[in-house]
Amino acid sequence: MSYSDGTRVVHAGLPAKPVVGEPFLPGPVFAAPFHLDPATGPGENDYARTQHPTRRALEAAIGELEGAPTLAFASGQAAITALLLAVLRPGDTVALPADGYFTVRAFAEGTLRELGVSTLLVPTAGPWPDFSGVRLALLETPANPGLDVCDIRAVAALAHEAGALVAVDNTTATPLGQNPLALGADVVVASGTKALTGHSDVLLGYVASGDDALLGKVETWRKQTGAVPGAFDCWLAHRSMATLDLRLARQTANAAAVSAMLAARTDVSGVRWPGLETDPSYPIAAAQMRRIPGVVSFDLGSAERVARFLTAASLVFAATSFGGVHTSADRRAQWGDATPPGFVRLSCGIEDPADLVADLAAALDL
């Protein structure tokens, strides 16, 4: 039977049949080594760096949502770097979003360059180049923090025609917002720290792919580098995923209300939310995405005004990251991101929409 998103996230990764006397969500199992068969050696579990039951349950849950086998990592950055280092070799070229997560670009300009890998930076909204000679194209859509959206199916077709692999960072959208693998991507990477888990209490990343050989390379990299999440983090993440559909619904509603309020003000510029009909990314987002995430970006003109705004707002926490149940915002330029000094990325939480809009408007009026 085919279930809706709300049902899928509640039951994702749980045991196929209830076991009397056992909890709905088993675990967490904290063991690092496990008993081995004296004669045959490893069983289903041997050592936590290579196999672990709590991690497998989480991977099964995410895999059900993304539509492919999944490997969990200690963070989103760990997942992305594992993919890049498992796939790329000296002399290769990787195409990265010029407006995506800045730490990925920094990794490419530092570590990858030192390993002999060239980087091609391309804006998410395009125009996309000829991919001839590109080994891997990494898309991030919606892009963080500018929120541009690219046509995954179209870009994947161009990249595949040139022989390039296509990866999509699905952090901002989550698998309930879009399924890149169904749109032609070869692999999905994401930070589960953000909206997927949504409680601002866990670091997590993952790689998902239906390409067994590709995923096998990434798994070997993970085993040999030890970039695995801990058992309790895996259990927290799995527990939190059950409310993903509910959280996203409220966050999207809040983003719609907040972006409309901001767009109507003359003292706020550059308002971006792909769900706004006036947003440049709206046509692609409306066609490609099942729901729009709760992240809004805008410009207040100066660092000083951003500080006044965040100080005055009662319902907005000044914090980096996004996708949590609490509304938060940060000035991206303070981290070295290539954004204007007054640029703000605001992540809508699950507060009441009217309360949130009123609080933001009052803070902007000061």
Residues 209 and 274 in one domain: no
The residue with tokens 């009909």 is 277
Give the range of the structural domain holding residue 67, as residue numbers without chain letter. Answer: 5-241
Q: Which of 99, 169, 186, 233 is catalytic?
A: 169
Residues 144 and 64 in one domain: yes
44: number of Cβ within 10 Å: 8
Residues 261 and 347 in one domain: yes
Residues 190 and 294 in one domain: no
194 carries an active-site annotation: yes
Give the pairing of strands 118-122 and 136-140: unpaired
Which of 241, 257, 272 is at the close of a domain?
A: 241
Task: State if pTM tops 0.85.
Answer: yes
- Residues (pLDDT < 50) of the chain are none
Residues 46 and 133 in one domain: yes
Residues 206 and 86 in one domain: yes
359 carries an active-site annotation: no
Q: Which of 47, 49, 223, 282 is catalytic?
A: 49
Residues 325 and 253 in one domain: yes
CA dihedral 290, 75, 322, 318 (to 10 degrees): 180
Q: Which of 101, 291, 299, 305 is catalytic?
A: 101
Ramachandran region, residue 302 (left: φ > 0; alpha: ψ -120 to 50; beta: rest): beta
Residues 313 and 223 in one domain: no
At residue 125, what are phi and psi to the nearest 5 degrees? -80, 0
Which of 195, 221, 241 is at the close of a domain?
A: 241
User: In sequence order, which residues have a C-beta less than 8 Å from that of residue 330 and are 6 or more positions away?
Assistant: 318, 319, 320, 344, 345
17 carries an active-site annotation: no
| pLDDT for res 27 | 87
In tens, the pLDDT along 206-243 reads 999 999 999 999 999 999 999 999 999 999 999 999 99
| pLDDT for res 16 | 87
Q: Is the Cα torsion angle 160, 164, 170, 176 positive or negative in sign?
A: positive
Residues 203 and 269 in one domain: no
49 carries an active-site annotation: yes
DSSP state of 49: T
Residues 173 and 282 in one domain: no
Q: Where are the alpha helices (DSSP H) in the chain?
A: 5-11, 53-66, 76-87, 102-107, 113-114, 152-161, 212-225, 231-241, 244-263, 282-288, 303-312, 353-365
Beta carbons of 135 and 165 less than 8 angstroms apart: yes
Which of 208, 241, 274 is at the close of a domain?
A: 241
DSSP state of 47: B
Q: Which of 55, 135, 194, 331 is catalytic?
A: 194
Residues 97 and 218 in one domain: yes
Rounded Cα distance between 242 and 224, Å, is 31
In the chain, how many domains are there?
Answer: 2
Residues 232 and 303 in one domain: no
